Amino acid sequence: MTGLSASEKNVSHDAFLLQGKTCVVTGGVRGIGGGIVRGFAQAGASNIAMIDIRDELGAKAVESLSKEFPSTKFKYYHLDISNYDEVQIIYGSIDQDFGAIHVQVSCAGIAEYLPVLDHTPDTWHKVMRVNVDGTFYTAQAAARCMVKYKIPGSIILIGSISGHVINRPDAQPGLAHYCVSKGAVVHMAKALGVELAEHKIRVNSLSPGNIVTPIAPADEKSLAYFAHATPLARMGTPAEIARPAVYLASDASSFQTCTDVLIDGGLVAW
């Protein structure tokens, strides 16, 4: 272990802490993004910028989280991530408010059920603009901030099992455009990770399986389907995505970049 720094030698729980770090999470007021925000706060993040378009939920989230985690500063920013110019403005505000960005999580995304034969250019590009363009714009803006402050940061893109396998038509039909967009996100993490390595910026993706969220509730039909569709026989929770996100955000994953982490209860193995 000669020549390694103290942080590189550290294999204790301290390596997973986010103390002193500023984290940005898009889609951060509920669902998977909200779970990641909570996980980062539990890991001791100093500042968390929550980006979303649900202003009322954002205000409530800041209020409740600030009471629960008084040592972490939370701030909400309204942003349509598919708008490049707006992304530059908001990330400029985050720079002014907090300075360096240490961790970026690009989680915001949309899914609309529509058969391939019914797509128009507008319906197709609506998903691509958010899931692909918006993911790139926010990752790029964060990377620019990291380079500006010479921060060896971590960028986490939220992919999906739909970026690896196609959603079954008998269970989740009409998601071809979503699958294509998430496949792009998974590959984007690798491409960005290769190019940003010279700046000591790591880029990885997380690919969740079916997670209980406001847009994917654990209704009777879903529970019955996933009881036999996955080896673990259930849907996941946002907290089960937040834990590996904390790992990728922290020094514990200092030698990990250009990878995709599947958290799917074993679904793709079947």
Catalytic positions, written as ranges: 160, 178, 182
* Residues 6+ away with beta carbon under 8 Å from 185: 131, 132, 135, 157, 158, 159, 160, 163, 205
Structure tokens at 263: 């958290």
What residue type is assigned to position 107 of the chain?
A: C
Q: Which residues pair with 51 in a beta bridge?
A: 26, 77
Half-sphere exposure for 105 (CA within 13 Å, toward CB): 36
Residue count of the chain: 270
Both tokens of residue 85? 């110019």
The type of residue at 152 is P
Name the token pair of 163: 């970026």
CA 207 – CA 210 distance, rounded (Å): 10
Describe the strand order of the beta sheet including 22-26 as a list of residue ranges: 73-78, 47-52, 22-26, 103-106, 154-158, 202-208, 260-263
CA distances from 192 to 34, 73, 142 (A): 25, 29, 12
Q: How far is CA 46 from CA 22, 30, 101, in A?
A: 6, 20, 11
Select from 132, 136, 147 the least CA-distant residue to 197: 147
